[in-house]
Structure formats: C-alpha cells, structure tokens
Amino acid sequence: MFTIFIKTIILYALIVFGLRIMGKRQLGELQPSEFVVTILVSNIATLPIEDVDIPLLAGILPILTLVCFEVMMSTLSLKSRRARKIISGSPKIVIRDGAIDQKQLKELRFSIDDLMEELRQNSVFDITDVAFAVVETTGKLSVYQKFEARNVTSKMLNLPSAGEETAPPMVVISDGVLIPGSLEYCNLRPEWLQKTLKEKNLAQKEVFLMTCNRQADFHLVKKERRA
C-alpha cells in the first residue's frame, strides 16, 4: 500500500510539473494536440498507480515524453506558420454577412444546433445580426456582429477615457489578512487603512473582505460571527 501511496504522490507532482511546462490553458481552450496529451497523460498516470507490477518509470517516461513533445511541437508551431496550420488547423468562417456556409459546417461536422448554441453563448439570437462567425482552432465560435447589432461602446459615443483610474478594484484584506502589495497598487498608505477601519469601528481581523480601487473607493464585508 505504501508503494501506491508514494507512486501517487510522485505522479501527482510530475503531472503538475508537466502541466506547468505545457503552460496555462483551460480545458475548453486546448488545441487538439494539447487535448490529446492531456487525455493520454491522465490515462498513463493511472497505470502504475493501479498496478504495482508496473514500474514507476514506465509511467514517468511516457508522461514526460508526451509533455516534452508537446512543448517542442508548440514551439515549432510558434515559429512556423505552416507547422501551426498542420498541428492546430486554421480558423474557419461559418457565417458571412448573415449567411451560413453550409459546406464549411458539414466539413467541421458542426450541426445547426451546435451553431445556434454557440451563437446564443455569444449573446446572439438572430443569425442575420452576424457579420462574421469563425470557428477557432479550439472549436470555439467567435462572432463579429453587424454594426447595427453591436453593443454601444464609449468609443462610439466619443466618451473621454478615464485613463489609469479605470483600473479594477483589488482585494486589500482577505479573511482578516492584509494582502501584500495591495495598498501600493491603490496608491494608499497603511495609515489610510487604519483610519478607514477605525471609522468603521472594525479591527483588521474582523474584516472578511475589503476591496479598494485607485480612487480609494472601498467595499467592506464584515466577518460573520459564528453561532
């Protein structure tokens, strides 16, 4: 049993290391080659864990080989456009000016239901509103709406930009603990924090969450007392 325990820990560390080498991607955003590697790695890792008769190296070597090969292929596809096309494929336009390219849909084996579902996920409910819809190499649909169907933007309304002040709020205190660097991000001093907490009659450890932006607009959530 100890063998299984140790093998599991080693393989866990190895897979985490392997995925770190492969880079940060969400499952839905994986390229076909990355998807294949992910499935294979998860499958191979279980073999030496389940079967004590299989040497640990028989699990480690294929996992590392797959990860390294994937890194090499992704580097190659980064350097060469042709390699990128072979490994990852190319994006395909499925809707042009509101008209569905049925041939392309058939080639992609995309049903009309799939297309409509993807459009709805992009907040598009009417195909005629679509100027371009592109199936990306990850299988996701990117939609470019016609001008009249697009959301109004500040650019369209010629609104002036707020510049750096539009930086999002940051967590300053989480579960009573001050997040390092958060006050510097907000251009605030620790004295400001102490004064603010004093005004609210709160100690730092009584704060569940405090967020703040660069205009010193803050939001405080007090810790709930345990019953």
Partner 1 sequence: MKRFYTAIVIMAFILGVCSYSLILFRTTKTQMVQKLDAIQTAVAAQTDSGEVQAMCAEYAELWNEKEKHLIRFIRHPQLDDITAQSAELQYLAMDDGYSHLLAAIARIRINLDRVGGAEVFFG
Binding stretches for partner 1 (CB under 8 A): 21, 23, 52-58, 61, 64-65, 67-69, 71-72, 75
How far apart are CB 160 and partner 1 at their closest, in Å? 42
Smallest gap, in angstroms, from Cβ of residue 17 to partner 1?
10
Minimum CB–partner distance for residue 83 and partner 1 (Å): 14
What the block records as the tokens of 218 is 């803050």
Angstrom distance (rounded) from CA 203 to CA 187: 22
Pick between residue 79 and residue 109 the one whose CB is nearest to partner 1: 79
Complex with partner 1: residue 53 or 97, whichever CB lies closer: 53
Nearer to partner 1, 75 or 154 (CB): 75
Q: Report, in Å, the least distance between residue 21 CB and partner 1.
A: 6
Which contacts (CB < 8 Å, 24+ apart) does range 201-204 have? Answer: 204/173, 204/176, 204/178
CB of 26 to partner 1, least distance (A): 18
Q: Which is nearer to partner 1, 32 or 55 (CB)?
A: 55
Residue with tokens 């890194």: 71
Measured CA to CA, the distance from residue 149 to residue 75 in angstroms comes to 39
Q: How many CA atoms lie within 13 A of 101 on its CB side?
A: 18
> Is there a contact between 133 and 93 (Cβ–Cβ < 8 Å)?
yes
Q: Are the beta carbons of 173 and 209 closer than 8 angstroms?
A: yes
Q: For residues 78 and 37, what is the distance between their CA atoms, to the nearest angstrom?
A: 18
Q: Which is nearer to partner 1, 1 or 227 (CB)?
A: 1
